[in-house]
Structure 1
């Protein structure tokens, strides 16, 4: 069994980048912080669209999002995430009003996408950490931008990131048969829609409860294996 060293580095990059972002954010005037936030939202939307266009069957993506949204709404996932985030915020005695939002948005952004799956898989199956270390650099810079705008909650996204990617590395051999190229494309495309939603939230165009849509990723895997 291979130690998920790449995921440990990735989590450390998020924490390190987040600390830099906190230091920068504290020194930025409100108007500068606002334009940084808007720029981050625009860039996030572009990343989401690029990922969403990877679908070879838009119906899989559509039904995954719809099915996931209904399932998450019935399960009240957003409420669970908010309660967990607020409990952590209270324990840390943080006064940041965007703590939970930063935690949820950063977790979705860092844990969704082909690199978040392929990187840990390559590490677990072949001991190759190239992809996950490259992702670490990207996530580190993204963490700087997110933490400067949304605060300390972004740093704690390193915990679900480590658990998620580390688990993929440890169980890569078991999961590999279920995540072929077709499934990966549809999973990435569905995740891209969620990341597009993060951009919309960052721009404050419309508040989308993205946590309720997370089951869409499970639907994408199942539907792609059946109809892909």
Structure 2
């Protein structure tokens, strides 16, 4: 049972409801302070994941090559287009709140959909749980997502809870794919995979606090290329050193 996915989906669903019902009482100062906390928490999770890496050179290669692939394929733009398609579908059933212009509502909805359905941390956490059953990353992310959903729910209303529907579909598909990949991996490959995911979480933390807007969506392919690169490094390069 994908405990992490269920926890994450429930956190967003309930957070959206809590925000819609009582989030208006939250001050701007509190919201900004929580946002900064989200950033540093993401970085802490990233450092925790990076620490046990096995092959630093392979990880660096994967970060560079994977990000290059994402940028060349304009993956970030493709993800935003997918989020816009989801937003248009949702907007057919839910109108913008009275205090929101329709265009501003649509832009914010796209941001929220990307954050909850296609974030690097969510994808990394789901793949990790699918490969070895470790739900730690997704459960930790759920804590952040709950409060983020409360904040967005206070601004957008109950529509934030509806994002849990496409999220559970996307994460379940990734979970099943990872479950099939795991038998082909080794413990050292998993450690390098976690390290790459940790780097992505650190980059996400910098984006959250708006210090540096790393292209985190374009960096997602590095979680795919790390596996063959790590295997090649251990099987071919290391024996030559």
State the TM bucket, normalised to the shorter chain. 0.7 to 0.9
Contact 1:37-1:149 at 8 Å conserved across structures: no
1:47/1:138 Cα in 2 relative to 1: closer, same or farther (>3 Å)?
Answer: closer
Q: Distance in 1 between matches of 2:141 and 2:44?
A: 16
Match of 2:196 among 190, 194, 211: 190
**Partner SS for 1:42:** helix
**Partner SS for 1:193:** helix
Contact 2:189-2:227 at 8 Å conserved across structures: yes
Contact 1:33-1:148 at 8 Å conserved across structures: no
Contact 1:69-1:216 at 8 Å conserved across structures: yes
Match of 2:67 among 56, 61, 69: 69
Tell me how many residue pairs correspond in the alignment: 211
Q: Distance in 1 between matches of 2:174 and 2:130?
A: 9
State the partner residue of 2:13: 16
Query: For the pair shown, which has the larger CA radius of gyration, 1 or 2?
Result: 2
**Partner SS for 1:112:** helix
Q: Distance in 2 between matches of 1:39 and 1:7?
A: 22
Superposition CA RMSD, Å: 2.7
Contact 1:20-1:144 at 8 Å conserved across structures: no
Q: Distance in 2 between matches of 1:11 and 1:28?
A: 23
- TM-fit CA distance, 1:78: 0.6
- TM-fit CA distance, 1:58: 1.5
1:15/1:163 Cα in 2 relative to 1: closer, same or farther (>3 Å)?
Answer: farther
Give the TM-score taking structure 1 as reference length.
0.79
Q: Which runs of 5+ in 1 are unaligned?
A: 124-130
Check if 1:31 corresponds to 2:29.
Answer: yes
State the partner residue of 2:147: 145
